[in-house]
Amino acid sequence: MPTKNRFAELLPEITAWRRDLHENPEILFETHRTSAIVAEKLKEFGCDEIVTGLGRTGVVGVIKGNKTSSGKVIGLRADMDALPIHEQTGLEYASKTDGAMHACGHDGHTAMLLGAAKYLAETRNFDGTVVVIFQPAEEGGGGGREMCEDGMMDRWNIQEVYGMHNWPGHALGTFAIRPGAFFASTDTYEVVFEGKGGHAAKPHETVDTNVMTATAVTTLQSIASRNADPVDQIVVSVTSMESSSKAFNVIPQRVTIRGTVRTMSKEMRDLAEKRINEICSGVAATFGGTADVNYMRGYPVMVNHEEQTQFAADVARSITGQCDDAPLVMGGEDFAYMLEERPGAYILVGNGDTAAVHHPEYNFDDEAIPAGCSWWAEIVEQRMPAA
């Protein structure tokens, strides 16, 4: 079956919702306007229950089918937050907030799930219950974790959960997915190297933190090249170096480095943390200094469940005729927390030949809306058929 005709009819309305959200972006947990709009629309649609304030500013709507004898409950999740980026698209509906922009398409995700919710509340052509989840703070805040910690899964007895993300560079309105590890864990670290500062003309009287740092930065690359199995994915990047001195003739007392680690397994994550500590401490000791290592764990690896992934791909094929194999993504996604709590799957919907996400010229393509809405609606109707 192709995209549902109802979503073609609703496209102008859903597009208007999306562009309003795009014009008024909100960051992290500060999605107060967005959350209020979502809650109001769910009320207009006639949802059976609407709860706000989950995960601080998250919104949940409950829609019961014409029958609920199956006892099945499915969660559908969209993220709502924007990024701290100044928009450079020049669009008539560009962000009105300096330094904030929907540069990852969460405006599109929210609008598509609202469209699916409107349709499902109108038709209720399923046997079970659907829980639509609108989540704040995906972009680094861990809103998915906070909604889970607020008891969302148990409160509504959600049994499976599904999510979606637009994907620039993939054909507009087509789908891609993969089972197992899909998006990487997103850890960060900070290392403070301490030595003995002094005059640059008398290096023998110092413990040179610059030499210490340079050696450590180079050696950290051996984690991927010499510690990890070549078939495992791991990225260790140093992204910032900051000295306690900016003078031309001073060897600094202290240098701080910061960076990120991306892995596709718990084992690689543990290895990276262990080796960063060992390398930085060992290098510092070699030069007579010290290293204070702070390793901070972020989002876990996002792992699609095998059976639900196959089902999600079959649903995509029923809409567009195909579903491609998605690549591994070394970016992070806090839908991982929901997939740790319940089986489910996360799929990509093509955004066409557009700027990449997290780019100041990115824009969600509204022509992808019918495909995305149809996929969410079909997940419900095919998983919980009315007859």
Question: pLDDT tens, 165-214?
Answer: 999 999 999 999 999 999 999 999 999 999 999 999 999 999 999 999 99
pLDDT value at 1 more than 80: no
- My answer on whether 257 and 320 are in the same domain is no
- My answer on whether 340 and 254 are in the same domain is no
- My answer on whether 76 and 104 are in the same domain is yes
Longest dimension (CA), the chain: 84
Residues 9 and 12: their CA atoms lie apart, in Å, by 7
Q: Which of 275, 299, 323 is the last residue of a domain?
A: 299
Q: Could you tell me the sign of the dihedral formed by the alpha carbons of 25, 13, 6, 4, in that order?
A: negative
CB atoms near residue 184 (< 10 Å)? 29
User: Rounded to the nearest 5°, which phi and psi values hold at 127?
Assistant: -110, 95
| pLDDT tens-place string over residues 278-324 | 999 999 999 999 999 999 999 999 999 999 999 999 999 999 999 99
- My answer on whether 22 and 153 are in the same domain is yes
Residues spanned by the domain of 358: 5-183+301-383
pLDDT value at 18 more than 70: yes
Known binding-site residue numbers: 104, 106, 139, 165, 358
- My answer on whether 203 and 289 are in the same domain is yes
- 133 membership: H or E segment, kind and range: strand 129-135
Residues 112 and 107: their CA atoms lie apart, in Å, by 9
Q: Which of 267, 299, 331 is the last residue of a domain?
A: 299
- My answer on whether 179 and 224 are in the same domain is no
pLDDT value at 2 more than 80: no
Residues 230 and 109: their CA atoms lie apart, in Å, by 36
What is the pTM assigned to this prediction?
0.95
- My answer on whether 19 and 151 are in the same domain is yes
Known binding-site residue numbers for Mn(2+): 104, 106, 139, 165, 358
List the CATH number of the domain containing 24: 3.40.630.10
- My answer on whether 52 and 179 are in the same domain is yes
Number of domains in the chain: 2
- My answer on whether 178 and 221 are in the same domain is no
Residue 108 and residue 364 in contact, taking contact as beta carbons nearer than 8 Å:
yes
- My answer on whether 12 and 151 are in the same domain is yes
Q: How far is CA 145 from CA 14, 139, 252, 311, in A?
A: 28, 12, 40, 25
- My answer on whether 306 and 295 are in the same domain is no
List the CATH number of the domain containing 222: 3.30.70.360
Residues 316 and 130: their CA atoms lie apart, in Å, by 19
Of 273, 251, 263, 258, the closest CA to residue 328 belongs to 263
Residues 218 and 238: their CA atoms lie apart, in Å, by 10
- Strands 234-243 and 254-263: what pairing? antiparallel
